[in-house]
Amino acid sequence: MSNDTAVYQRQGFGSGLTVAPPYGLLLVDFVCGFLDPDRFGGGNIPDAMKSSVALLGEARRKKWPVAHSRIVFADDDGDANVFAMKVPGLLTLKEEDPNSAIVPELAPAPGELVVRKTVPSAFFATSLAPWLTQRGVRTLLVAGCVTSGCVRASVVDAMSLGFRPLVLRDCVGDRAIGPHEANLFDIEQKYASVMTRDEALSLIDRSISV
């Protein structure tokens, strides 16, 4: 155990969450621009996307509610905000821009929610929370990119709204590994359970606590 982990444990962080049905899946910003290292991608994002293909298939097989998010700004930049001030290139992500399109491997199916957003969290000022609540979701599995940005913001909001976030370590990615690992550590200590895709699916099938 590292000294950092010991400090967190001594102070009472890192308690487990009990997974509880019904389950839902949130895929955060798996769009073409975030798979392109020359735009917003890089790091382990392609690996996270590949791992999420089987995850999405399993969620559909189990008939879970599935939601996707993508960043979409108005064609006239009328909704430009502070997020875009910090990352001006985000304003290129328009409704018809291919870089804002969800990757074909994870394309939404009929009945799945697609959330359009202009801030990191998929929950802020969107219909995601009521949509999940209407479907009775208690435990929300989270995949997507990037771990240190939109994934983290969405996880914090999910927890704040009363959902139990379960972040899938091999299904989230970041353009740099340092922020990815640091944020997974922090997320696990404060906001969510963190495990691999296969660990999570096995756990859910066995219906035991984490």
131-168 per-position pLDDT tens digit = 999 999 999 999 999 999 999 999 999 999 999 999 99
Specify the pLDDT at position 210. Answer: 45
Residue 61 lies in a domain: yes
Strands (E), the chain: 23-28, 66-71, 113-117, 139-145, 164-173, 193-195
In angstroms, the CA 59 to CA 36 distance is: 26
Burial of 39 (0-12, 13-18, 19+ CB in 10 A): middle
What is the extent of the structural domain holding 176? 20-69+98-206
Residue 171 lies in a domain: yes
Q: What CATH number should be reported for the domain holding residue 184?
A: 3.40.50.850
Token code pair at residue 97:
């821009």
If you average pLDDT over residues 24-37, what whole number do you get? 98
Residue 152 lies in a domain: yes
What does the pLDDT look like over 83-104, one tens digit per residue? 999 999 999 999 999 999 999 9
If you average pLDDT over residues 97-112, what whole number do you get? 98
Active site residue 32: no
The one catalytic residue in 32, 145, 150, 171 is 150
- Is 192:17 a contact under the CB 8 Å cutoff? yes
Residue 137 lies in a domain: yes
Residue 90 lies in a domain: no
DSSP assignment, residue 103? Answer: P
If you average pLDDT over residues 3-11, what whole number do you get? 85
Q: How many domains does the chain contain in total?
A: 1
Residue 46 lies in a domain: yes
Using the predicted structure, report yes or no on whether residue 1 has a pLDDT greater than 70. Answer: no
Residue 200 lies in a domain: yes
Specify the pLDDT at position 2. Answer: 66
Residue 75 lies in a domain: no
The whole-chain average pLDDT of the chain stands at 95
